Structure 1
Amino acid sequence: MDRLMDLPATQDAAPVHVEHGGPDGGPPIEFDFSTNACPLEAPAPVRRALLQADRRHYPDPAYAALRELLGAFHGVAPGRVLPTAGSSEAIRRLTLAARLRGVQQAWVPQPGYGDYRAAAQALGLSVRPYASGEALLDGLTTHGAAPALVWLCEPCNPTGESLGAPFWPALAALAGRGHVLALDRAYAPLRLEGRCPVPPAVAESAWQCFSPNKSLGLTGVRAGWVIAPADDDALRATLLSLAPGWVLSAEGVALLEAWTLPATQQGVQAACSRLRAWKRQQRAALQSLGWVQQPSVTPFWLARPCDSGLPARLRALRERGIKLRDATSFGLPGWVRLSVQPPPAQQALLQAWRDSA
């Protein structure tokens, strides 16, 4: 099986056009494999909270009650919790805060979420891509004299893979050199296999970005938070000062409050149980088509259909209301990223693929 870590990493100074899954301006998508959102309905407490959200009034601009709630949920002081309008907004704001501190380079996973690179390039930071944990450690050792913004996504998008346990203690040894360590945890609740490998010491030294809307299947509600390290009051103050007024809407506050409820967490765990079964079924079906598939601990992964005319095949699928995420923008032409979908969607994909042969 091909290993993605063998692919060369490149550095490109050209402006980045970030592509995403989901709506693309075309006809309605009936079966959407292109986003990483959970395809199941959000737990009942979350749905009720959104319906009852007070849209008549501004939320508290300081979000004091929400920060208290999220702080208790994570076992940290409320002052370390900084509300955001989701991960993408957190990425932009944290990159700007690091730039104002004087950071001039950013390390980003490749393949990885395009907003890391785009945010860095928009502010004139030098972008250094890395293709594996080992490559990152080697790069920080070789080029790490100057402080850098270091992005990690655990588990990673688009691969769905998790960095190995030996990587993290080695990273902790380098983290004290003035680097801004940023840990994107958007997909942590969707981990279907194994345990989170991030040691508490690394998490405590990192800027941890959370956004539960994908786990809840509610990507239209843009809401999240950052947990700041306990010992970086200056950068925390900068990040707060850069936030727009009312960064969270009433719906965003309602979603995050409901996220902390035990019933919501139980609902997410139940959804993950169903996704595990559907994932096994979907991977077996794609294997029957001869697709090469990368390992993954999440309900999304990278696959390479055995077809040289992939763009045309993807267009044919799109015309039938089925969308997969072309991985070319990740630097992986010939590959797709796809998410677990319910059995009827899987059957529709298999039939459409065979029909377009």
Structure 2
Amino acid sequence: MMLSPSQPQVLATSYHSPQLDVEVKLNTNESPLAPPEGFLLDVAARIRRSSLHRYPDRQASELRQRLGEFHGVDPEAIFVGNGSNEVLQTIFLAYGGPGRTAWVAQPTYGMYAQIAGATRTELIPGQRSDSGQLTEELIASDASLVVVCDPNNPTGMVEPAELRSLPPLRPHQLFIVDRAYHDFDQRQIPEWHGENVAVVRTFSKALSLAGLRLGYVVADPTVIAALYGIVLPYHLSSLSQLVAVSALDWQRELQAMVSLVVTERDAMVSRLAAFGLAPYPSATNFVLVDMGIHDAHEIWNRLVARSILVRDASQWPGVGNALRITIGTPEENARFLSTLEEVLR
């Protein structure tokens, strides 16, 4: 008999989004706009000057230097990976594992539970307040890792700013703060920071580069050294590094769509409420909406039949009868809303 997987329970609950051939794709929180032509020409020029016959820089020195300048830290405080998921997995490999625990409060990003299972880190299920947010009292003090998604996916809600005072009071814990949607949060408040805080960021959302698969973490240099000690050698390709450096040169142009998304997001919330639905307040590039008396999965099927793909969140832990809609272009959003109004009838 063929050897079976060692963790079939992880395979059975893996977090994946359906990839369907549709005309309007609003299900994976990507940017509605492609990078500008000038950026692509800059990338092409860098590729022509590169040495692809050589292995990449294992330490991603130039990219870490640039990211360090952007965040006001030394390069030794930056770890770069193939998307924030690899970054998160590397943190769990270094600081989780057998005998360690991770506190995660649903509903939140499904990959946290999957990565905990894959790294054999015991998951401690957390609780949220009636408003759907976290409080200091609700976060377990005996967990090795505390995972906070701020703003949160899939609800789109921000966590209370006062949570930022908690890590210094709990030096025995590592706080992993996923800030994938940071750029869509209009609050002007200080970033999470501290020796025991790892702030995870991504190029996939506000920088319009989901296809690049580039994520990074800002943390104390001792944490970063542990991550580079455990990650596979040459894990980040030369192409990924040079495209990311170009993206930092073009950051203002790449992020130009953020204001469009915020405007469209707020309009989306208003229209969904006008339909008699219950959208969550969002500080991201998506909206989670409780479908009320309508069956979310059935509505999802009807939208797919009309070549519109959103995310069916009705089976996610702690969510309920809901759909999650990525904010697209004004034309895509208008088509989604008119079609939704049609199928709700």
TM above 0.5:
yes
Query: Which one of the candidate residues 271, 287, 291 is aligned to 1:301?
Result: 287
CA distance in 2 between counterparts of 1:63 and 1:224 reads 12
- Tell me, yes or no, if structure 1 residue 215 matches structure 2 residue 206: yes
Query: Which one of the candidate residues 40, 44, 60 is aligned to 1:51?
Result: 44
Match of 1:72 in 2: 69
- Tell me, yes or no, if structure 1 residue 112 matches structure 2 residue 108: yes
CA distance in 1 between counterparts of 2:23 and 2:207 reads 19
Q: Which moved more, 1:302-311 or 1:320-329?
A: 302-311
Match of 1:292 in 2: 278
Deviations 1:130-184 (A, max 9, x none): 24377563254xx534x51111122111111111122221x134331x1111111
CA distance in 1 between counterparts of 2:38 and 2:199 reads 25
Deviations 1:307-337 (A, max 9, x none): 4332122112112221111113432231111
Query: Which one of the candidate residues 125, 142, 159 is aligned to 1:163?
Result: 159
Deviations 1:59-98 (A, max 9, x none): 2222222222222222211122112111111111110111
Whether the 8 Å CA contact 2:277–2:291 is kept in 1: the answer is: yes
- Tell me, yes or no, if structure 1 residue 91 matches structure 2 residue 88: yes
CA distance in 1 between counterparts of 2:168 and 2:128 reads 17
Residues 137 and 212 (structure 1), Cα distance of their counterparts in 2 relative to 1, 3 Å cut: same
Secondary structure at 1:297 match in 2: coil
Query: Which one of the candidate residues 32, 44, 56 is aligned to 2:25?
Result: 32
* 1:341 aligned partner, one-letter code: G
Q: State the structure with bigger RCO (CA 8 A, min sep 6), 1 or 2.
A: 1
Match of 1:5 in 2: none
Whether the 8 Å CA contact 1:85–1:222 is kept in 2: the answer is: yes
CA distance in 1 between counterparts of 2:38 and 2:148 reads 31
Match of 1:252 in 2: 240
Match of 1:6 in 2: none
Whether the 8 Å CA contact 2:79–2:216 is kept in 1: the answer is: yes
Match of 1:150 in 2: 146
Query: Which one of the candidate residues 169, 173, 177 is aligned to 1:174?
Result: 169
Whether the 8 Å CA contact 2:147–2:175 is kept in 1: the answer is: yes
CA distance in 1 between counterparts of 2:288 and 2:113 reads 20
Whether the 8 Å CA contact 2:181–2:285 is kept in 1: the answer is: no
Structure 2: unaligned runs, 5 residues or longer: 1-7
Number of positions where the alignment pairs a residue of Structure 1 with one of Structure 2: 328
Residues 59 and 14 (structure 1), Cα distance of their counterparts in 2 relative to 1, 3 Å cut: closer
Residues 203 and 109 (structure 1), Cα distance of their counterparts in 2 relative to 1, 3 Å cut: farther
CA distance in 1 between counterparts of 2:290 and 2:159 reads 22
* 2:327 aligned partner, one-letter code: V
* 1:149 aligned partner, one-letter code: L
Whether the 8 Å CA contact 1:108–1:116 is kept in 2: the answer is: yes
Whether the 8 Å CA contact 2:34–2:208 is kept in 1: the answer is: yes
Instruction: Report the TM-score when normalising by structure 2.
Output: 0.85
Residues 149 and 49 (structure 1), Cα distance of their counterparts in 2 relative to 1, 3 Å cut: farther
CA distance in 2 between counterparts of 1:215 and 1:326 reads 23
Query: Which one of the candidate residues 240, 256, 261 is aligned to 2:228?
Result: 240
Deviations 1:211-252 (A, max 9, x none): 11222222121112222214xx2x433311222232222332
- Tell me, yes or no, if structure 1 residue 187 matches structure 2 residue 174: no
Instruction: Report the TM-score when normalising by structure 1.
Output: 0.83
CA distance in 2 between counterparts of 1:252 and 1:109 reads 32
Residues 346 and 266 (structure 1), Cα distance of their counterparts in 2 relative to 1, 3 Å cut: closer
Residues 302 and 40 (structure 1), Cα distance of their counterparts in 2 relative to 1, 3 Å cut: same
Q: Which moved more, 1:325-334 or 1:87-96?
A: 325-334
Structure 1: unaligned runs, 5 residues or longer: 1-12
Match of 2:5 in 1: none
Match of 1:10 in 2: none
* 2:336 aligned partner, one-letter code: L
Match of 2:268 in 1: 282
* 2:215 aligned partner, one-letter code: G
CA distance in 2 between counterparts of 1:49 and 1:17 reads 41
Root-mean-square deviation (CA), in Å? 2.6
Whether the 8 Å CA contact 2:269–2:287 is kept in 1: the answer is: no
* 2:340 aligned partner, one-letter code: W
